Structure 1
Amino acid sequence: MHLTDGTALPGAGGGPRAAWVPGAGVTTAAASRAHAETTVRAHRTSQGRTPHPGDMIDLSLVVSELVTNAIRHGGGLAGFDVMTTADGVRIAVHDHSDVIPQAALGGADLPPMHQGNGYGWPLVTRLTSRIDARRRPAGGKTIAVLLPMRDAPAPADG
């Protein structure tokens, strides 16, 4: 897991903004998954590319876990943003709690047995290449991740 060292959160300045799409009105995990998938597919299609099906499954899993955690443990979902980049897709989930989860500070081992903590955060850390957790000036926090994305393999001629 990688925590950034003061670099700007996605959408907070720097980096490509043309593909940055705030999830206005996204209030559930299902709506956030649909928004993220639509954003990634539209951006890739505009470039004549198709996202790898396995990476789209990973996208759904990561978005579901982050949004569900915001709803269940962060006082509710305060915002959801998606940005496609050359490296993949950046996902930022904003909630209402100032508490940075201990797991976000390191240690993402799978739990030996279910003790109230599940497999969600370890799954997020395994699938993403960068994680940033920080408090927002107006209250609450943002968890932002980078999920690497590949292009789908070319169809085999047959």
Structure 2
Amino acid sequence: MTRRTGWAIGGGAAVVLAGAALWILWQGSTAPPSERPTPTAVATTSAPAADRAQDELDATLTACAESTESVPPEHCGISIPWGTEFAAVSGIRYRVEKLPMLELDGDTFTAGGGVLVATVTGTGQDGSPRTETYRTENWAVRGDVEISPEKVKIDIW
């Protein structure tokens, strides 16, 4: 074998090895995704915290429903369209048939699906005594929530 043939064989072998190394590296970087996707962390609130927040919301809305004032209590998500039927309202009684279900989203919440019945008593537009019952099939509230190990604070907007 001549010197020139030796260099040609050595150079060819080096090119083949370099090509094989590049091919192996390229295959490793473009590998298809694995059969099982890698799980990612999702921000959720622990069940006990959500249960405690629901309990606090239930207590707050139940207290709202115990009001006997002539105007709906503030921060309770209660709106009654009595203005066109009554000249004056002397009292409102509430009955909760179903409390809204709470969903936490960080430091805020939404709650919906509640059923609230309000019976309004007062003076009608014509001056005669009047009583009307209003039913809300989707009583919903929104607000802020603070959850700590010691307590849960609900603030309905």
Which is bigger in relative contact order (C-alpha 8 A, separation at least 6)? 1
| TM-score clears 0.5 | no
Q: TM-score range by the shorter chain?
A: under 0.3
Higher strand share: 2
Structure whose alpha-carbon radius of gyration is higher: 2
User: TM-score normalised to the size of structure 1?
Assistant: 0.27
